[in-house]
Amino acid sequence: MSGSRERGARIAAIALFAALAAPPVRALLEADMRLHMLVQFPLLAAAGALAAAGLPSGWRAAIARWNRHGIAGLLCAALTSTFWMLPKALDDALVEPWLDAAKFVSLGLGVGFALAVSWRPAGLIGRGVFLGNLLPMLAVAGWLYLAAPLRLCNAYLTGQQQATGTALIAAALVATLAWLGGFFVGAGARPAAPRAPAG
Amino acid sequence: MRTALACLLLLVLAVAAAARMTHGFSAFTAEQARRLYVQERQPLLPQTRLIDAAGNTHALREWLQADGRAWIVDFIYTRCETLCSVLGTQYQRIQANLRRRHLDARVGLLTISFDPARDDGPALAAYARRMGADPAIWRIARVADPADLPGLLRFFGVVVIDDGHGDFQHNAALLWVDASGRLSRIVDYGDAWSDPVLAPYLAPTAREAADERQP
């Protein structure tokens, strides 16, 4: 049955989460701004997504009742991602352990888990709105980090800030190309068939 | 229906969290938050022990409260060839202006080194000579006990990061201490000439201010 696959996903989620929370790993990833935002953040989201994959089907249905067309989940992911782009949020999380814990939980659940349970139900328009907002925002944040005349974060040197800005812009660009490319290549290229409500 | 409710709750939560984090959408960086705090609470200076360029020891708050002057404080390290030397040049101009306009009875200058290891007595004395610092107007000091430095920097909102090549990256600002020994304002060195509190004591012309600003 699919029970063992779900159990595997749950174990993987916990393992990934624990690995990221381990003090040496945390210190390593949070020491460099690029690693912090472009490695730790996505990995936390991945742990959340794995947790979603490990959900028993009854739970999925219950969540779906509050998340028609994945709208609530996509909104949650967008809001959470935006919050953690605030320079002050990054700085404060490095100084206050409870805020760092909140960061772990909110990125895992609020972004990873939320996206995982909302992506399929969302359909083309929902995903389009989500990506169409988030990707430009990522690029603008990256540009701000790059172009700001001062250091935005007290904890990171200007060189790191600029490198992070460049990396964020690059990530946004790559993601945009991948998304748009999907319309022209493979399954996306075929005309959309009417879809039954997905679970 | 339930999804709409969920969305509403998420929005409210997100706005509340963002408002709390940014102090009502006014501080997006930790630096902005620090400045807001200082302007609103005007914290009293600590009594950190400092040693001036002549080797005398003083307690910071007492030293600055003693003669009823307000103070403009900055933090440097004397080996710095970039930001700190600009701050030094600015202080020279301010000193000249205070003297010329006889404002030195009302405002004094204090430079504190955040590298007490290398900025010892002789180094500070050499810096004072190099800058032409008049001890009656411009005091230069280091912390007596290096263990006090992190607390002092934290109080003034100065963040210093060792860049690994023997130099430091740090935020640079002018710190205004009023006559009663309270830190009441933090101003970027580039904005000092247009700051309503500081400007009256600094260079008199807008032209000089424009020259000082970084490109």
- Find the CATH number of the domain harbouring B171: 3.40.30.10
A153–B7 CB contact, under 8 Å: no
Q: Which helix (H) or strand (E) holds B115?
A: none
Quick: pLDDT tens for B21-54. 988 888 888 878 888 888 889 999 999 999 998 8
Chain A residue at shortest CA distance from B168: A157
B21–A154: do the CB atoms touch at under 8 Å?
no
**Domain presence at residue B126:** yes
Q: Determine whether the interchain pair B14/A68 forms a contact, defined as Cβ–Cβ distance below 8 Å.
A: no
Residue B141 domain flag: yes
Give a yes or no: residue B135 inside a domain: yes
Residue B29 and residue A158: Cβ atoms within 8 Å? no
A32-46, A183-197, B77-91, B157-171: which has the highest mean pLDDT? A32-46
Residue in A68, A69, A157 closest to B161 by CB: A157
A70: left (phi over 0), alpha (psi -120 to 50) or beta: left
Sign, CA torsion A84/A87/A92/A93: positive
The tokens of B114 are what? Answer: 């955040």
Higher pLDDT, B173 or A47: A47
Predicted local distance difference test score (pLDDT) of residue B129: 93
This prediction's pTM: 0.74
Contact of B108 with B177, CB cutoff 8 Å: no
A86 and B31 within 8 Å at the Cβ level: the answer is no
Total number of domains constituting chain B: 1
pLDDT at A67 over 50: yes
Contacts of B3 in chain A (CB under 8 A): 66-69, 71-72
Q: Please state the three-class secondary structure of chain A as a single string.
A: CCHHHHHHHHHHHHHHHHHHHCHHHHHHHHHCHHHHHHHHHHHHHHHHHHHHHCCCHHHHHHHHHCCHHHHHHHHHHHHHHHHCCCHHHHHHHHHCHHHHHHHHHHHHHHHHHHHHHHHHHHHHHHHHHHHHHHHHHHHHHHHHHHHCCCCCCCCCCHHHHHHHHHHHHHHHHHHHHHHHHHHHCHHHHCCCCCCCCCC
Closest-CA residue of B relative to A84 is B18
For the stretch A31-66, pLDDT in tens is 888 999 999 999 999 999 999 998 888 888 899 899
Q: Is 60 exceeded by the pLDDT of residue A4?
A: yes
A vs B: CB pairs below 8 A:
72
Distance to chain A for B10, nearest Cα, Å: 6
- Nearest CB to B6 within list A72, A79, A87: A72
Per-residue confidence (pLDDT) for residue A191, from 0 to 100: 60
Are residues B17 and A83, on separate chains, in Cβ contact within 8 Å?
Answer: yes
* Residue A169: band (very low, low, confident or very high) from pLDDT cuts 50, 70, 90: very high
What residue of B is the nearest CA neighbor of A74?
B7
Give the pLDDT confidence score for residue B195 in this predicted structure: 86
Mean pLDDT over each residue of chain B, to the nearest integer? 87
Confidence of residue B82 (pLDDT cuts 50, 70, 90): confident
Q: Where does the pLDDT of residue B17 fall: very low under 50, low under 70, confident under 90, or very high at 90 and above? A: very high
Which of A120-124, B27-31, B57-61 is the least confident region?
Answer: B27-31
**Residue reference for tokens 């249905």:** A61
pLDDT tier, B160 (very low <50, low <70, confident <90, very high otherwise): confident
**Which structural domain range is residue B206 located in?**
42-212
Q: Is the CB of residue A158 less than 8 Å from the CB of residue A147?
A: no
A160–chain B nearest CA distance, Å:
11
pLDDT tier for residue A100 given thresholds of 50, 70 and 90: very high
Query: Tell me, what's the pLDDT at B126?
Result: 92
Residue B107 maps to a domain: yes
**For residue A21, what pLDDT is reported?**
93
How far is Cα A84 from Cα A93, in angstroms, rounded to an integer? 10
Q: Which residue has the tokens 């012309």?
A: B205
Domain positions in chain A: 3-189
- The C-alpha of B193 sits at a distance from chain A's nearest C-alpha, in angstroms, of 18
Q: Is the pLDDT of residue A118 over 70?
A: yes
User: ipTM strictly over 0.95?
Assistant: no
Overall average pLDDT of the A129-158 stretch: 86
pLDDT tens digit sequence for B83-106: 788 888 889 989 998 888 888 889
Q: Is pLDDT above 80 for B75?
A: yes
Question: In this complex, which of B2, B22, B31 lies closest to A66 when CB atoms are compared?
Answer: B2
Mean pLDDT across B142-162: 88
pLDDT at B206: 56
Question: Does the structure show a pLDDT above 90 at A22?
Answer: yes
pLDDT, residue B213, reads: 63
Cβ distance A66 to B21 less than 8 Å, yes or no, reads: no
Asked whether the beta carbons of residue A71 and residue B3 sit closer than 8 angstroms, the reply is yes
Predicted pLDDT at B204: 60
Q: A68 and B3: CB-CB below 8 Å?
A: yes
How high is the pLDDT of residue B50?
94
pLDDT band at A199 (very low <50, low <70, confident <90, very high): very low
Report the residue of chain B nearest A86, measured CA to CA: B28
pLDDT at B8 over 60: yes
Compute the C-alpha angle B50/B54/B55, nearest 5°.
50
Which token pair is B153?
A: 């920097």
Chain A residues lying within 8 Å of B22, measured CB to CB = 86, 88
DSSP SS3 for A157: coil
- Residue B100 maps to a domain: yes
